[in-house]
Each structure stands twice: as structure tokens, then as C-alpha cells.
Chains A and B, each alone.
Chain A
Amino acid sequence: MADYNTMELMIVTGARELKSGASVAVGTGAPCAAAMLAQKTHAPDLLIIFEAGGIDPQLPEMPISVGDSRTIWKACQATSMTDTMEMFCRGMVDYTFLGGAQIDMYGNLNSTRIGPDHQKPKVRFPGSGGANDFGSFCWNMMVITPQDSKRFAEKNDYITTPGYLEGGDSRDKSGLAKGSGPYRVITNMAVMDFEPKSKRMRIKSVNPGYSEKDVRDNCGFELLAHKKIGETHHPSKKELDVLRGEVDPYRYVIGR
């Protein structure tokens, strides 16, 4: 077993999905770390977008907020949030990473509340922020999240951000932008994608140290699976060196 933790593996796995020349909209934390890592390794021409208005910064360190001044450090443009959201609408944003308190088999996300009463929730979370916007428009929406059977829910208490809604062609019929939607779900145990017809989540590869049974036991709904489930690749020494040395030297995201 190589010497790395599951957060490092999730960030590296996310980073590998990002192609040079593509665009990615990121939030703080793991998503930003993945984008920075990709840009500093295999994807130097990755266009990083912050929803508040920072376009193509040369991030000197991890931002605390998607609107703080680090997001415009040596950037190509400091614009408005309306402007970046319009990039999404026009189909100019290829990738994003989201998270949430709950995710269902179609990749729908809940970041709003737990409990049935909307006006008096048991637990209130921040709400959509830009998540619904990202999930509505981004060509390839990815989720980086730890996995357990509560978070991977049979039914979300609330759908903040659209995945494939009720599966099949329900997303297209809803009026959301065609061809967009969930692409990967990267957890501490596995990497999932979505079966093209039913739009249900399926196991693509299992992370080193875990079994298919672990993945299924820690999921509140029935997962589909590829015919041949692979093993998620280990991070390389170079990826770990850049992640630890340049992206997150204070280990805010990757932990100690």
C-alpha cells in the first residue's frame, strides 16, 4: 500500500479527469486542489473559473472564498458573477466539482436541508449558492465526497442541484440544457459514472484497499456496475509531490 491518504487519492483522481485546454469551475477545498494539481501537472492550459468573477488566475495559494482576492491573483480578468454564469449558460464550462449532504442514484444533490418542514428545517445548510447553476449547465459535473449509506441516499430530503432527476430522459424533458449532467462521482472507496440509458450511478473502479462489497455496503441504493470493474490508479510520486509541496503545503485540504 502506497503512502497516501484517501483525500489525496480523491483529489488526484479528480485532477486526472481535467484535460488541458478545457475549462473548470471550482469552489474552495478539494475541487480547487484538484484543478490546481491538474494545472501544475498534465493540464497547463486548464482554464480555471471562479463563479464570483475570477477568470484564469495564477493561484498563489488556496483561496478561502470563491470571491476572495486570491481568485484574481495575476488573472486574465476580474469580471462579474453574472458574466461567469453566462459562460455556463452559453456552454463554455466543461467541468465542475460539487458536493452535498446527500446524493441519490441519479446524482441529484442536497445542500439545503435535512427534515421535512421547509420553513423550520431540522438542519439548515447553505442552500444552492452556485451549485444548482453549475449542475444545470456544466457539461460534466463531478462530485468528490466521502461515501456512506446515509449520504448516498435512497431518496434525498431535498433536491438542491439537478443530476439526472428521475433518470432516463427526465433531465432533457425538464428543460435543462441538453447533453449536460453528472459525469463522475469520486469517493474514498470508488469511482462511479452513470449508465447512459437509465442514468443510474454505476461502479467504474474500486479504490485500492476496498472491495466492491465495501462500496455497496456503504451506499443507500442499488449501484449498477461496469462488466469489468477496474482498480482506481494509485497517485504517482510526482502528483503527490506537487499536491503536497505546491498545491496544499499547509495541508488544509489533504489533512495531516
Chain B
Amino acid sequence: MDVIDQGVGRLFTDPDADNARAHFKTKSRALTNKLMSLKDAVAKFVHDGEYLAIGGFGANRTPIAACHEIVRQKKKNMAFAGHTSTHDFQVLAAGKVFDKLDIAYIVGLEARGLSPNARKYMQTGEVEVCEWTNYCLSARLKAAAMGVSFVPIRNVMGTDTFKFSGAIIIECPFTGQKYAAMPALWPDISVIHVHEADMYGNCRIRDITVSDLDLAKASKHLIITCERLIPNEEIRREPVLTDIPFFCVDAVCEVPYGAYPGVMAYEYFSDEEHIMEWMTVEKDPEAFKEFLDKNIYNVESHFDYIRLHGGMEKMLALRDKELMTTANSNKG
């Protein structure tokens, strides 16, 4: 197939489908207990220099507890999928976890503004970048989930987004139309936060799924954090509700409020005051360093972090906000 045009961006992962199949040939299909602590899961499956992807969308159903743990364990030189990333990007940039970056959306927190520290990091020149769009990265994960080395889509052509991407423009063998070929993306390690999972890794998501179903299939290794563990009998009672099956999953960590300070649909709304604290304190590098010590490096777990920001009372207030009720706020 002729190459009509090619972006200058470097691919940080191998798009070869047979190489990916060789990995998946060795991946366990056994129904085994995968429960472990988040600390152990990150130590076991997140390695310096590898390719990391994070599920959810920005500060929505995003495994923030896992992002903190990755920063706490000082993982470095990773490549990262900056795909709909907002507060997760802010946390990982604070720890300088990555130095290679596929970009769809970075630095910003949507309506909340831009992260001063993440922006500063991206302007140092320390991070090698490759540009994409939200749909490009979704399509790259979809190709990986399909077990093919690329999928053709019709965006980016004619723009600098294409020029600085790793995509290739090809001609359709049926119609002669031009397409941008998106190379498959098989992340080494991904983390997805879900509502419910059993100890084998069967997961239920009560929310938009963003790109997570393809991400789960595309990932060579996958850590699941969940709000609640449920029995396998419950999964088998209603198998139509299973979004991610156990054989995609390597570790299951029960982390209630694991998306805090972000949103978890039907569970809790985001803690906007605390997210704005991040945005403000980042303007002062010294104060930000103390802030990171207090909130990430010097805490043991996500529970300690939550205790620092109002504990269970705050969680119940955020549940009220999410459900638009006053049930918990009125208890005095």
C-alpha cells in the first residue's frame, strides 16, 4: 500500500500484531484470585521506562489513588497516553513520571483552567511528544483490541496535528479515498477504576466507558481499582452487566473513593475546592513541593489522603452533591 504522507512523530510502542499476539499467548486465562494492595500492584506491574495508560476521562472515574501511588513509588522515564487526561496528567506531571508522551489532551482541566506546573513541565523540552486527537488514541486502542496493526480514520488530514503525529496517510483500495492510518497501541500497563469487581477481575462500570473497554483489551497488563468488591456469584447472576472480563486483568485492588478528588458517577462528585487548591498552589514551586510531600510522598495510602481533606464527612457531602440531594448534609 502506498504511503501518501507520514507524520514526523515517533511511535513509542510497537504496532506489530504478531508481537502483540506473542505476549497475549502467555497471558493467563485462569480464574485466579488477583486481589492485592494498590501498593503491591504498582510495585509489581508498573515499571520504569514502560508505556502507561490511565482509564476514565480527566477527573471522571479516573484512578487517582493509583496515580498517587505511581508518583509515590517514584516511577520514571515512562511513556504516557495523554488521552483525555486532566487531573491524572497533573498528578503524573508533578512526579515527572513520564518523559515520552502521546498527546490528545494535556495540561488543561477543562472548565477549571490550565495546570501551571504541568504546563511548565511541557515547556521545558524534557518531554518528547507525539500529537494525536481523542479519536486517534481511541482508534489506536481499538486497533489493538482488534488485534490488527492499524485502523483507517478520516480526521487530522491537512493539519499540523497530522504533521506532528505518527500517523500515515494511505489510499483506500476500494474507493481511492484518503485515510489516516492509526497504528495500534498496546500499552504495557494500564489502570482503570470501576464501580464493582470480583476477585478475579470481572468488572462493572455504571458510567460512560470512554475508551476503557478497548483499553482493557489492548493492555498487556491491567490493574483494576474498584469502589467495591462483589462476589463472583453476583457477576454470574447477571453476566450481561460485565464490562471487563477477568482474563484482561492482572490485579484487583479495592480502593473506595479511588477516583477522589474526581467524580465517580452515582457515588460522589468532585471536590472542586481541593482541585482548585492544586491549581493555586502550583503557582508557587516551594509551596507546591510542600503540598506534594503532605498529600502524596508522606502519606501511606489513599485513606490518609482522604482524611487530610475531610474524611468520611466530606465523602458523604460529595455523595449528596453527586446525587443532588441533601440526605447526608442534613444529618447535622
Is B200 interfacial (CB-CB < 8 Å)? no
CB distance from A64 to the nearest CB of B (A): 5
The residue that B57 contacts in the complex, of A52, A161, A176, with Cβ under 8 A, is A52
**A171 touching B123 by the CB < 8 A rule?**
no
Taken together as a complex, chains A and B put the C-alpha atoms of A71 and B211 apart, in Å, by 16
Who on chain B is nearest to A130 by CB? B134
Per-residue CB contact flags for chain B residues 257-269 toward chain A (1 = under 8 Å, else 0) read 0000001111001
Is A112 interfacial (CB-CB < 8 Å)? yes
Who on chain A is nearest to B120 by CB? A124
User: Beyond A80-B210, A132-B155, is A175–B134 a contact (Cβ under 8 Å)?
Assistant: no
Interface residues of B in 64-119 (CB under 8 A from A): 82, 84, 86, 103-108, 110-112, 114, 119
Q: Which residues of B lie under 8 Å from residue A124 when comparing CB positions?
A: 106-107, 119, 122-123
Taken together as a complex, chains A and B put the C-alpha atoms of A175 and B176 apart, in Å, by 10
Interface residues of A in 121-167 (CB under 8 A from B): 121-133, 136-137, 158-162, 165
**A67 touching B60 by the CB < 8 A rule?**
yes
**B209 touching A80 by the CB < 8 A rule?**
yes
CB distance from A76 to the nearest CB of B (A): 13
Is A219 interfacial (CB-CB < 8 Å)? no
CB distance from A65 to the nearest CB of B (A): 5
Taken together as a complex, chains A and B put the C-alpha atoms of A247 and B133 apart, in Å, by 30
Q: Which residues of B lie under 8 Å from residue A72 when comparing CB positions?
A: 207-208, 265
**B154 touching A177 by the CB < 8 A rule?**
yes
User: Beyond A120-B123, A174-B178, is A127–B208 a contact (Cβ under 8 Å)?
Assistant: no
Who on chain A is nearest to B178 by CB? A175
CB distance from B174 to the nearest CB of A (A): 14
Q: Which residues of B lie under 8 Å from residue A62 when comparing CB positions?
A: 111
Q: Which residues of B lie under 8 Å from residue A160 when comparing CB positions?
A: 159-161
**A52 touching B208 by the CB < 8 A rule?**
yes
Size bracket, chain A contacts: 35 or more
Taken together as a complex, chains A and B put the C-alpha atoms of A170 and B157 apart, in Å, by 11
**A78 touching B208 by the CB < 8 A rule?**
yes
The stretch of A5-13, A81-89, A183-191 that contacts the partner chain: A81-89
The stretch of B135-143, B191-199, B302-310 that contacts the partner chain: B135-143
Interface residues of A in 239-256 (CB under 8 A from B): 252
Is B132 interfacial (CB-CB < 8 Å)? yes
Total number of B residues with any Cβ neighbor in A under 8 Å: 67
Interface residues of B in 147-185 (CB under 8 A from A): 153-161, 164, 169, 177-180
Is B270 interfacial (CB-CB < 8 Å)? yes
* Main SS at interface, chain A: loop
The residue that A69 contacts in the complex, of B60, B129, B135, B158, with Cβ under 8 A, is B60
Is B40 interfacial (CB-CB < 8 Å)? no
CB distance from B108 to the nearest CB of A (A): 4
CB distance from B173 to the nearest CB of A (A): 15
Interface residues of A in 87-127 (CB under 8 A from B): 88-89, 108, 112, 117-127
CB distance from A221 to the nearest CB of B (A): 18
Q: Which residues of B lie under 8 Å from residue A64 when comparing CB positions?
A: 110-112, 270, 272
Is A53 interfacial (CB-CB < 8 Å)? yes
Q: Which residues of A lie under 8 Å from residue B108 when comparing CB positions?
A: 125-126
User: Beyond A28-B111, A80-B209, is A133–B123 a contact (Cβ under 8 Å)?
Assistant: no
Is A68 interfacial (CB-CB < 8 Å)? yes
Taken together as a complex, chains A and B put the C-alpha atoms of A51 and B104 apart, in Å, by 13
**B157 touching A174 by the CB < 8 A rule?**
yes
4 nearest A-B pairs in the assembled complex, by CB-CB distance: A175-B178, A53-B208, A67-B57, A120-B125
A51-B134, A127-B103, A128-B131 known; 14 other A-B pairs, CB under 8 Å?
A60-B324, A62-B111, A64-B111, A68-B59, A81-B210, A82-B139, A127-B105, A132-B135, A133-B155, A136-B156, A160-B159, A160-B161, A162-B157, A176-B157
Could you give 6 example pairs across A and B, Cβ below 8 Å? A72-B208, A89-B154, A119-B125, A126-B105, A127-B161, A132-B161
